[in-house]
């Protein structure tokens, strides 16, 4: 690989790492090896509590980041019915509890199917979106409520893969800009309950698959062995 001229790396983002953590580790490894700064960027942020496929571009390939970000995404994950959290995932403790006794597996399947197609989705308060120059998650951590406008996204597939209520496992294929945390929240609301993500893994971006991705220790070892 010619990292300086430009290459595309597929990386499995570790749990609790930010996407920038991955970029920073790779950038640091390249600088230690080659003695000069090489441009490195990622195509599509994953939340710290999400794992899975992250496309990393180096050199001139960083100019193609927008085209990779625009591609279709696939995720697998689990959600828990009966509660919500401020972050819509397990980063924070539940702030509200809801009934679940009325929810049946058939209800979950029917409601999930109703989300397939173009839908309006409001981004999470804890997200990287900027409103008037202010990042939503920074404002949320200060207790400031920003007006986050709904956006149109496309859910191509929403498959329920396993249920042990109140826990639900799923697979989603969706367009750029889709927040799976928001999808979980909205599914809970549609079931007259609440829901939040307990795990999430991105398995595909366009034709790039997680099965082809580097684990970070192996990638850093590979970089260190380059001539």
Q: What is the Cα 209 distance to its own chain's centre?
A: 15
Q: How confident is the model at residue 31 (pLDDT cuts 50, 70, 90)?
A: very high
Lowest mean pLDDT among 3-17, 70-84, 95-109, 125-139: 125-139
What pLDDT is recorded for position 206? 96
Predicted local confidence at residue 225, as pLDDT: 87
pLDDT in tens, 181-196: 999 999 999 999 999 9
The CATH class, in words, for 73-205 is alpha beta
Give the helix/strand (H/E) hosting 9: strand 6-13
Strand partners, 74: 173, 204
Q: What share of the chain is helix, strand, coil (3-state, %, to 5)?
A: 30, 35, 35
Strand ranges for 109-175 from DSSP E: 117-121, 130-131, 134-135, 151-164, 167-174
Select the CATH number that applies to the domain covering 6-70+208-224 from these four: 3.90.1170.50, 1.10.8.60, 3.30.2350.10, 3.30.9.10.
3.30.2350.10
- The CA distances from residue 135 to 26, 41, 138, 142, 151, in Å, are 25, 19, 5, 11, 17
Contact by Cβ (8 Å): 8, 56: yes
Output the pLDDT for position 136.
59
First vs last C-alpha separation in the chain: 11
Q: For the ranges 1-5, 8-12, 99-103, which has the lowest average pLDDT?
A: 1-5
For the cut 90, the answer to whether the pLDDT of residue 124 exceeds it is: no
The two tokens of residue 146 are 């920003």
Beta-carbon contacts of residue 193 (< 8 Å; ≥ 6 apart): 81, 82, 98, 99, 100, 102, 103
Question: What is the pLDDT at residue 146?
Answer: 64
Per-residue confidence band for 129, with pLDDT thresholds at 50, 70 and 90: low
Q: Give the pLDDT of residue 52.
A: 98
Query: 140 pLDDT exceeds 60?
Result: no
Across the range 147-158, mean pLDDT stands at 90
147: confidence class by pLDDT, cuts 50, 70, 90: low
pLDDT of the residue at 210: 98
Average pLDDT estimate for 52-65: 95
pTM for the structure as a whole: 0.91
Residue among 47, 66, 89, 186 flagged as catalytic: 47
Domain with CATH 3.30.2350.10 in the chain: 6-70+208-224, 73-205
Residues in the chain: 227
CB 193 within 8 A of CB 107: no
**Catalytic annotation on 47?**
yes
pLDDT at 5 over 70: yes
Over range 17-32, report the average pLDDT: 94
* CB burial of residue 185 (10 Å; 0-12, 13-18, 19+): buried
């Amino acid at each position: 690989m010619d990292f300086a001229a430009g290459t595309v790396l597929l990386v499995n983002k570790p749990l609790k790492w930010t996407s920038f953590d991955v970029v920073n580790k790779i950038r640091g490894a390249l600088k230690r090896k080659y003695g000069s700064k090489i441009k490195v960027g990622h195509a599509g942020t994953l939340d710290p509590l999400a794992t899975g496929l992250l496309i990393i571009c180096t050199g001139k390939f960083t100019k193609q980041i927008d085209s990779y970000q625009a591609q279709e995404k696939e995720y697998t994950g689990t959600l828990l019915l009966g509660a919500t959290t401020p972050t819509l995932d397990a980063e924070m403790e539940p702030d509200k509890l809801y009934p679940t006794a009325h929810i049946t597996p058939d209800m979950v399947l029917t409601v999930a199917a109703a989300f397939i197609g173009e839908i309006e989705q409001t981004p999470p308060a804890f997200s990287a979106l900027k409103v008037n120059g202010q990042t939503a998650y920074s404002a949320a951590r200060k207790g400031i409520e920003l007006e986050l406008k709904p956006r149109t996204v496309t859910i191509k597939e929403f498959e329920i893969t396993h249920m042990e209520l109140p826990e639900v496992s799923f697979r989603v294929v969706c367009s750029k800009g889709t927040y799976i945390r928001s999808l979980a929240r909205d599914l809970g609301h549609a079931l007259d309950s609440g829901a939040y993500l307990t795990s999430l893994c991105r398995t595909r971006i366009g034709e790039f698959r997680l099965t082809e991705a580097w684990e970070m220790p192996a990638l850093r070892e590979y970089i260190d062995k380059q001539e």
